[in-house]
Structure 1
């Protein structure tokens, strides 16, 4: 692929990945039976949920698109340490998200006391543990990619939209991640959810917003 085509292809893949990663907002218009303030986003894709197949499919598509976009972007010229680190981290995020979609929860622990009890007792399928690992890896990759590429945009004076707005989005993402982790710890300690769903939805929404800004930045960059 020529350099002139690499940039728009990478931007298109990233923008489509960002769109697919926000498929969970469909819960606003379709009845899922899950409270978005209290429940994990991944519970929408649980094996026992009526729309689980749809949300697993959109997660798979999102992960593969971001993975493809990040690998395509690695072929762009003028590779530098921060850009290479960022694209590799986004590739990890994409791959882990795709794997995550193949390891769904068997039930929704935040709304099903029996499911929560089985999970606490270790009586749920191994996919619950594997899902937690892949989800953690995906979010770690997303955070690392956001930090590295935002630093790259400012340090190397590239991707102007990202250089301007990236720091704010990253700061909000870190705050949302702290909220989510604290809420997860509270839930696992039996102290309630502390609006776990709202925190996590903000977390994944900010990742999608940042990806969209990155896509626009890459598309507008001059060769």
Structure 2
């Protein structure tokens, strides 16, 4: 093995570890919502959106907003690093770009916080809406974030099967994807039905699956980096 090859492999190894660490941090920070069970927050987890935790005027907004900022701040460079370090293939490229968009949209969520309003507030969609907050600009950034992470998960999952790489995403990642997809369907269907269907629980399952998938992706990046520089591969 030549010295130049050794140097190249060392750079790939260090870069893959840095990318994985950033994604891992994002996954942990994106689960900051679990703090609602330990802090004195007047929010019903069964019938509330997680965006209400860092809505304007909430006592612990700084904590949750900071966590979201960290998610975006580490994911965007991690996505760029993934594009530069690993071989560019159709599905993985889509995945990295979607992951970048997810990071950017998460920061936008912080910059466009949810207004602290109630269902009786006419400026929030009227009293007939189960979730009047959906009529706020914050809903757009949240929709972009959820759509982006969904595209990323499906793209990397397809890449795992299509290219026979990213093995852990074909196993644990697929289970997490299935759980998150089920929660998303739950939300989409229930939100258009009369009555209360515990949308807060559905969203927490959805977001929790996103965090777990990011952690799984971090592990996949480490394994992929090792396999890619293995001379016997």
Normalised by the length of structure 2, the TM-score is 0.84
Please say if 1:171 is aligned against 2:171.
no
Q: Counterparts of 2:126 and 2:45 in 1: how far apart (Å)?
A: 26
1:73 aligns to what? 82
Q: Distance in 1 between matches of 2:18 and 2:164?
A: 22
- The count of residues paired between Structure 1 and Structure 2 equals 212
Residue equivalent to 2:71: 62
Give ranges in structure 2 of 5+ residues lacking alignment: 1-7, 128-132
Match of 1:145 among 145, 152, 155: 152
Larger deviation: 73-82 or 199-208?
A: 73-82
Counterpart in the other structure of 2:60? 51
Counterpart residue number, 2:218: 215
Q: Which runs of 4+ in 1 moved over 4 A?
A: none
Which residue is 1:203 aligned to?
206
The question of 1:19 aligning with 2:22 is answered: no
Contact kept, 8 Å, 1:177 with 1:200, in 2: the verdict is yes
Instruction: State which of 87, 100, 124 in structure 2 corresponds to 1:119.
Output: 124
- The superposition leaves residues 90-147 of structure 1 with CA deviations (integer Å, 9 ceiling, x where unpaired) of 1111110111111111115xxx3334x431259xxx9963211110010000000000
Q: Report the secondary structure of 1:38's partner residue.
A: coil
Q: Distance in 2 between matches of 1:121 and 1:155?
A: 47
Q: Tell me the TM-score normalised to structure 1 length.
A: 0.88
Q: CA offset at residue 68 of structure 1?
A: 2.0
Map Cα deviations across residues 21-78 of structure 1 (whole Å, 9 max, x no partner): 0000001111111011110000111102111222112111112222221111111232
Residues 120, 126 of structure 2: 8 Å contact kept:
no
The CA RMSD over aligned residues, in Å, is 2.1
Q: Which runs of 5+ in 1 are unaligned?
A: none
Please give the secondary structure, in 1, of the residue aligned with 2:114: coil
- Tell me how far apart the structure 2 counterparts of residues 37 and 193 of structure 1 sit (CA, whole Å): 9
Residues 103 and 145 in structure 2, CA contact (< 8 A), matched pair in contact too: yes
The aligned counterpart of 2:166 is: 159
> 1:41 corresponds to which residue?
50
2:139 match: secondary structure: helix
* Superposed displacement of residue 219, structure 1: 1.0
Q: Equivalent of 2:191, from 173, 184, 194?
A: 184
Residue 30 of structure 1 aligns with which residue?
39
Structure showing greater radius of gyration is 2
